[in-house]
Structure 1
Amino acid sequence: MGDARQAWGRVTAWLENHAPEVSAALGGPGSPAAIYDAELRMGLQLPEQLRQWLLGHDIDAGRQPPAGSCLVALGCPGVLPSGGLLLGLLDIERVYLHKMAMEELTRSGSTDYPSWRSEWVPIASERDGFYGAFVNTISGAVGSWSEGSLPAEREYASLFAFFQDVADQLEGVSSCAWDGPGRARKCDPGPGDDPVRLWARANGYLVNDRGRIPAAIREAYEASR
């Protein structure tokens, strides 16, 4: 399976050399007691890889969300080449409880295709929780969700594979188009979309390297100009 801490070490090494301000925002070690308390409130047990990662770097450690903040109050931008905010423990709990509450409100008679499952723990998101990535606490796999679409449950086999891919992108393949997780091919990006994607990632939105940019992101980009 691989050690997520080893893959994460590649990410932090790149950030230290190329984006020191992002590296400084990653925070210090997490607290076992804080993790235990969060698990109790969420009613689950975090996978060992996620627990070890949070013990090494908890973005939210010692911080409190400002009054009136978005759902993701303390997430760290600039880490994920695909955009979005990397979450610390406090935001993990906030997004998880919000997604669970929304699933309860919108649940239909069928449980085959829920918008959220109790075993999914978010690890990245944009500010309002419309897009993001999660770890499955049962399988350890990493998937993603996007408002208006069915979740993708197994984009990476593990948190190790997810961070390995992040490191690969940071180290030079982020300009490529993806044929699938961990496989890249050289291509020319769509020139008309580059400014929108760059702005979106800098402002905490999760946007792919190719494909349609969500209308809400385009509208936010235009409103910012």
Structure 2
Amino acid sequence: MKIKSIATGQQRSRDRTAARMKEAQSSSEARSTIPARFSGWRFATSAVAHSDGDIQIEGQRAMSVAESWSRVMSLLREHAPADHADLPGPATEDLIAAAEERMGIALHRDLRTWLLQNSLDLPEEDVDDDVMCCGFNGFPDEGSFFLGIRAMERLYANRSRPWGFDPPDQPDDPFWRNEWIPFLSDQDGWSGKFIDVRDGRVGSWFVGDPTVTGEYESMAQYFDFVADMLKRIAAGNNPICKVVEGRLVWS
């Protein structure tokens, strides 16, 4: 998995993005009508996310972004151990603080918590300066990858604007806002996911298409979706991905 992202073509990337959004929508609709599932427990209602990074379940203990990410890592370690072994450890508080100062914005606590568990930057010697983003390709999807703090800062610098949004004549419905911090992307920055620092909600972008805000109520909810996807792959129920010799292989 320790490789640079490989371009799969703009139309193929668009098709994959549309398929993921459809699957996410179906998953969200299912959660509204059947018991929610978190860490192997079942509850009588769906989750409600709060700005402190927890998912509040009526009458039950909240689930944090740290717990939901740990669930993803546990499933990856169990079913794709070779991929799991490639992933680096956490960022430091000093590294995050320095990035925040250069970016000119404070990260949402969900994002900070996640980076303090795993900051998924490639080793510096493996970074290709000729592409916008580098990462561990194929996790969580073909042609896209999670961003570590260095890759995150680089893409944010490319996306942010002095006036706070882009394009400048669309303040109410922009393609990009400075309050959105990318945490997943393809190698060109054409598509990916971001967290809104104002409320912790997760959205997605694809160049040429309207930006989707509030796709997930929180990073914890998005990571729960990733965990469910890994379970489907492990069970052989994902038509475009399987595990081969401990690695996720996309077709």
Shared fold (TM-score greater than 0.5)?
Answer: yes
What aligned pairs does 1:61-210 form with structure 2 within 5 A after superposition?
63=124, 66=127, 68-73=129-134, 75-81=135-141, 84-101=144-161, 107-172=167-232
Contact 1:22/1:78 (<8 A) preserved: no
Establish whether residue 50 from structure 1 lines up as the match of residue 111 from structure 2. yes
The structure 2 residue matched to 1:35, chosen from 74, 81, 96, is 96
Tell me the CA shift for residue 15 of structure 1: 1.1
Distance change (3 Å), C-alpha of 1:64 and 1:142: farther
2:85 aligned partner: 24
Paired AA for residue 145 in structure 1:
W
Name the CA distance, whole Å, in 2 between partners of 1:115 and 1:140: 18
RMSD value over aligned CA atoms? 3.2
Distance change (3 Å), C-alpha of 1:15 and 1:102: farther
Tell me the CA shift for residue 21 of structure 1: 2.4
For residues 125-183 of structure 1, what are the alpha-carbon distances to aligned partners after superposition, in whole Å with 9 as ceiling and x for unaligned?
000000000000001000000110111010100010010110011111799xxxxxxxx
Q: How many residues align?
A: 184
Contact 1:81/1:170 (<8 A) preserved: no
Q: Provide structure 1 residue ranges, at least 5 long, that are not aligned to the other structure.
A: 176-185, 196-200, 204-220
Structure (1/2) with the larger strand percentage: 2
Distance change (3 Å), C-alpha of 1:65 and 1:82: closer
SS of equivalent to 1:56: coil
Distance change (3 Å), C-alpha of 1:154 and 1:67: closer
2:73 aligned partner: 12
Contact 2:164/2:177 (<8 A) preserved: no
Contact 2:195/2:203 (<8 A) preserved: yes
Distance change (3 Å), C-alpha of 1:166 and 1:40: same
Tell me the CA shift for residue 24 of structure 1: 1.9
Paired AA for residue 135 in structure 1:
I
Distance change (3 Å), C-alpha of 1:202 and 1:98: farther
The TM-score, its normalising length taken from structure 1, stands at 0.71
* Amino-acid identity (%): 32
1:181 aligned partner: none
Tell me the CA shift for residue 202 of structure 1: 6.2
Name the CA distance, whole Å, in 2 between partners of 1:113 and 1:129: 20
